[in-house]
Amino acid sequence: MSDKADVKFHLRHEELTERIYKNPDMLPSRYVFVLTNLCNLKCPFCCQAKTNASERMTADMWISFAAQIPDYARITLTGGEPLLFKDLEKVFTFVVNRNPCNIISNGVLLSDKIIEILLSHPNFKVLSVSLDDIGNKSRNMTDSQWNSLVANLKSFNVAKKSKNHAALLDIKTMILDGNAFELLNIHRFCVEELECGTHVFQFLKGSEIQHSDHMFSFDNIKEIPNDYRYKNWNVIVQQLEKVRLYNRERGCQPLSFMHPRMVDLNSSEILPDFSCLNAPGLDSAFFTSCKFPWSSVHINYDGNLFPCLAVSMGNIKESSLRDIIFGKKMKEFRNYILANGLAGACKRCGWLRPVETGVEK
């Protein structure tokens, strides 16, 4: 997948979001399968509980659910660490033969065998990995794990080129106070050493309810979070401006993004103010009303389905996809967003869109 193809994919998702938002009979177009909440890393900023529960979904359960998903949808397999899911190949093969498929992984367990499986399917679109500093020390990676990650990503690129496969290597960097001074260096490493197709800078969640592996009550989404505020905010802004200048020097190849997409890191103009992301609470005046609860859902390792904020709309082991999407709980959730635009727990969510430009890319 080229950089232009990546932009095309995001444009299509935004367009589908608009269609689904206006058409009450359409199912979502994006499904995130949290195959497992177990992980081989212990990132200090991770909000996942990682409990070893007995009610985990089996491969057959995932496949039964995947068969209900419309053909216009894209499916993302993630965790935890999805490569720890013992029947990953079985689920992946079924999914990728029906729908375009992405995988989000920390990359440490990526092997030549897994790479071969992924790249044997044209419908495999994106491998996303996380890299927050050179060495990934912020994720408590050992030197051995880091070396494996780098070697694995280079092997992925070699195999991709040899097969002339269009899959994209997407690298995500969590912006932290600890890596604030190194954002440009990290970006250069991802582009020049790892040859990423896209590089995404993400901010810490403003609420642990976002995409959590454990469920909360509906009223929790209304709470204004006592969220973390970056101490090195000015440094972060300066570094992201340097990233923009670097991107312009390279002709914006590959593309770089910020989530939420408050600014364009490939723009010819200096970055505008986006300090609202580091302000206390959530001022909805800066953001458009969210439409993504109509187009995107997560399915937890235990079968609970939720739109974005981890409030169960129903369990796919007990109900069909259509019954959940068009059910009472989802209607209540969407009606709240329709009435309020956002919820308090939406602070720094990657789906936020600035009110000045509305839906971007």
Give the integer Cα–Cα distance in Å for 91 and 78.
12
- At which residue do the structure tokens 């642990």 appear? 208
Give the integer Cα–Cα distance in Å for 66 and 74.
11
Give the CA distances from residue 280 to residues 176, 276, 284, in Å, rounded to whole numbers and listed in that order. Answer: 17, 8, 12
Give the integer Cα–Cα distance in Å for 190 and 194.
5
Give the CA distances from residue 30 to residues 16, 147, 293, 321, 360, in Å, rounded to whole numbers and listed in that order. Answer: 10, 33, 10, 13, 17
Which two structure tokens, joined as six digits, stand for 221? Answer: 């989404």
Q: For the chain, give the number of residues.
A: 361
Give the residue among 111, 105, 115 at the shortest CA–CA distance from 139: 105
How would you write the pLDDT of the chain (361 residues) with one tens digit per residue? 445 555 566 678 889 999 999 998 999 999 999 999 887 666 656 566 556 666 889 999 999 999 999 999 999 999 989 999 999 999 999 999 999 999 999 999 999 999 999 999 999 999 999 999 999 998 889 999 999 999 999 999 999 999 999 999 999 999 999 999 999 999 999 999 999 999 999 999 989 999 988 899 999 999 877 778 999 999 999 999 999 999 999 998 889 999 999 999 999 999 999 999 999 989 999 999 999 999 999 999 999 999 999 999 999 999 999 999 999 999 999 999 999 999 999 999 999 999 864 333 3
Global confidence as pTM? 0.93
Give the integer Cα–Cα distance in Å for 40 and 290.
33
Which two structure tokens, joined as six digits, stand for 320? Answer: 């069909």
43: helix, coil or strand? Answer: coil
Q: Are 288 and 300 in contact (CB under 8 A)?
A: no
Which two structure tokens, joined as six digits, stand for 6? Answer: 């990546």
Q: Report helix angle 59-66 to 88-96, nearest 10.
A: 10
User: Omega into 272 within 30° of 0, i.e. cis?
Assistant: no
Domains of the chain: 3-346 (3.20.20.70)
- Tell me which DSSP letter residue 56 carries: P
Give the residue among 309, 287, 282 at the shortest CA–CA distance from 298: 309
- At which residue do the structure tokens 């000015």 appear? 234
Name beta bridge partners: 104. Answer: 128
225: helix, coil or strand? Answer: coil
Q: In what order do the strands lie in the sheet with 168-175?
A: 255-259, 198-203, 168-175, 124-130, 101-105, 74-78, 30-34, 296-299, 304-306, 314-315
CA end-to-end distance (rounded Å), the chain: 16
Give the integer Cα–Cα distance in Å for 355 and 104.
29
**Cβ neighbours for 146, distance < 8 A, ≥ 6 positions apart:** 135, 136
